[in-house]
Amino acid sequence: MFSSWKELEESCFSCQKCSLSETRKNLVFGVGNKEAKIMFVGEGPGEQEDLKGEPFVGKSGQLLDQYLELIDLSRKTNIYIANIVKCRPPGNRDPKEEEAQMCISHLRNQVYLIRPKIIVCLGRVAAQRLISPDFRVTKQHGEFYEKNSVYMMGTFHPSALLRNPGNKPDALSDFQKLREKIRELDLL
Ligand code: SF4
């Protein structure tokens, strides 16, 4: 575990621990406030993220930013966003188990350095990795689980909302619950 961002970033940007390093254009480390109390975690970079080196850009990123703005959150000021895997799985497939296993130490180190009070998992892959292996987004979205004094919540991945807009009201409700939890914990 690295105790400085510089060491962690150097290790991560030179990482070749799994085969995703062979096809990435850019490693997508994370973005936001490194002292944020609230962290968002997705599954892995898509095509646009791979091209730009930043998580959640393109249409899904725009949708996420809209939802964040509704509850006074922004990647520019008060949250940090990262992914389970830092390199793009080809064809936007889910990360494989061995890739996630290899990469999770980077995310754990980011959490160690940030020490967030709330972690929001965007989509099934992140929620099953961080909350519970049998997490069902459609059934358990918006529920908070306390783990090691960190409140964790799973909600829909913005890309899934673009494919299934019928879930948008539930996602908005999850963000309102997040707002209430932020107020309850007096985080902002
Ligand atoms: S996905 Fe993670 S483990 Fe694999 S090469 Fe990229 S940084 Fe390393």
> What CATH number did the domain enclosing 62 receive?
3.40.470.10
160 closest CA partner among 183, 186, 138: 138
| Domain range for 99 | 5-183
**pLDDT, mean of residues 97-104:** 98
Is there an atom of ligand 1 within 6 Å of 100 CB? no
Residue 92: pLDDT band by 50, 70, 90 thresholds? confident
Is residue 188, in this structure, part of any structural domain at all? no
> Does residue 43's CB lie within 6 angstroms of at least one atom of ligand 1?
no
- Which residue's C-alpha comes closest to atom 4 of ligand 1? 18
Q: How far is CA 185 from the centre of its chain?
A: 21
Sheet-wide strand order for 79-83: 31-32, 79-83, 38-42, 118-122, 150-155, 144-147
Q: Note whether residue 97 is domain-resident.
A: yes
Closest ligand 1 atom to Cα of 18 = 4
- Give yes or no for a contact between 2 and 110, defined as CB atoms under 8 angstroms apart: no
pLDDT digits (tens, 9 = 90+) for 124-142: 999 999 999 999 999 999 9
How many domains in the chain? 1
Residue 188 clears pLDDT 90, i.e. is over it: no
Report the alpha-carbon distance of residue 12 to residue 1 in Å, rounded: 12
Residue 20 lies in a domain: yes
Ligand 1 atom closest to residue 21's alpha carbon, by position in its atom list? 5
The Cα–Cα gap between 65 and 74 comes to 7
Read off the pLDDT of each residue in 166-172 and give the average, rounded to a whole number: 98
The stretch 49-73 carries a mean pLDDT of 97
Residue percentage of the chain with pLDDT more than 90: 99
Residue 162 domain-assigned (yes or no): yes
Ligand 1: atom nearest CA of 44 is: 1
Q: How many CB atoms within 10 Å of residue 78?
A: 18
Compute the distance from residue 20 Cα to the ligand 1 centre, in Å. Answer: 6
pTM value is 0.98
Minimal-distance CA residue to ligand 1 atom 1: 87
Residue 151 bridge partners (DSSP): 118, 146
Closest by CA position to 44, among listed 64, 70, 24, 22: 24
Ligand 1 pocket check for 88: Cβ under 6 Å: no
**CA 6 / ligand 1 centre spacing (Å):** 17
